[in-house]
Amino acid sequence: MRLFNQHFLRREQDHYQNYGIVKDGKNISWVAITGGSDGIGLAFCHHLAKQGFNILMIGRSESKMTEKLNELKKQYQKIDTYYILADFSKLSHYNDYERIAQRLKQYDVAMLLLNAGYGKPERFDAKENIEVEEAVNLNALHCIYMTKAMLPQIQNRDKKSALLYTSSSLGVLYSPGNIDYCFSKRLTSFLARGIHYELSQTNKVDVMTFEPFGVSSNLVKTKPNSLINSSEYASACALRDLGKEISTFGSISHYFQYWLLIAIGETRRNKMFYNFYTKQFKKEYGQESSSDLSKNNKN
């Protein structure tokens, strides 16, 4: 019954009403998002700009963020936009994030979306050391340190805030052939669940982790189908559940995929994952080299 309500009865939420502040007739609240210039992150920006949020992107590509923010501003003319340059794959110290948080203090950050991430399926022993380091910095440390640096600000607003992590289904089901991505996303999922419990004592911040399966993006280069969601649909499902769930796979098709993978058992599942990520993934989804992925998916 709970899943029926979630997927068929629950409607789109007005998150500006939930978290935003209006002052002197103007929407003054911001969404701060990492990885907002592509894929799921950009789709989040469109959904929330449409509701009236100002958009602040944090990422490594100034040209890409400028282009996407201009597009948002043109489409949603009443919003303000801004960006902060940061290459999370290179940041491994808390002080780096404290400097970002200091720059965000001038904004009423109502929603913090920690969405940046990338992965390159490959055997762990075949990976370059720098690839593992950058994956951990981007997929895990950026969530830990950005959360720690921003919690005081989002907890001390005059209205409830939201903290949304984009993790992955591979943070729930480990996958041989894609281990560094799995364990870094596992950390993100556990962080989100723990922070959710701790902050629920004050009811000042809604916290959720989004753990989808395949989503059409720079990482999974295929058209949406019955198994692969579009970025627009996947992000809409996540926003539907924010404030209602601790975690979500998003669409009903991704819940079915999870149940099927559990049903076939760990041995068969691991063999299937290993063969898929070491032999089929690049061929089916057109994944590029690690360096190209770094350019396209760290923003």
Place of tokens 């994952």: 273
Cα distances (angstroms) measured from residue 197 to each of 40, 168, 234: 26, 20, 25
pLDDT at 299 over 70: no
Q: Judge whether 3 lies within some domain.
A: no
Which two three-digit tokens encode residue 184?
């870094």
Condensed to tens digits (0 to 9), the pLDDT of residues 186-233 reads 999 999 999 999 999 899 999 999 999 999 876 666 788 888 999 999
Q: For residue 216, what pLDDT is reported?
A: 86
Task: Categorize the per-residue pLDDT at 185 as very low, low, confident or very high, splitting at 50, 70 and 90.
Answer: very high
CB atoms within 10 A of CB 78: 10
Condensed to tens digits (0 to 9), the pLDDT of residues 8-35 reads 889 999 999 999 999 999 999 999 999 9
Q: Judge whether 191 lies within some domain.
A: yes
Q: Judge whether 284 lies within some domain.
A: yes
Condensed to tens digits (0 to 9), the pLDDT of residues 237-276 reads 999 999 999 999 999 999 999 999 999 999 999 999 999 9
DSSP state of 288: -
Q: Judge whether 4 lies within some domain.
A: no
Best CA proximity match to 115, nearest among 51, 174, 169, 39:
39
Write out the residue range of the structural domain in which residue 272 sits: 12-297
Q: In the chain, how many domains are there? A: 1
Which residues, in sequence order, are bridge partners of residue 142? Answer: none
Q: What is the value of pTM for the model shown?
A: 0.92
Condensed to tens digits (0 to 9), the pLDDT of residues 138-167 reads 999 999 999 999 999 999 999 999 999 999
Output the domain CATH number for residue 268: 3.40.50.720
Which residues, in sequence order, are bridge partners of residue 59? Answer: 85
CB atoms within 10 A of CB 127: 16
Q: Judge whether 186 lies within some domain.
A: yes
Q: Judge whether 268 lies within some domain.
A: yes
Tell me the residue type at 60. Answer: R
Which residues, in sequence order, are bridge partners of residue 111? Answer: 31, 162
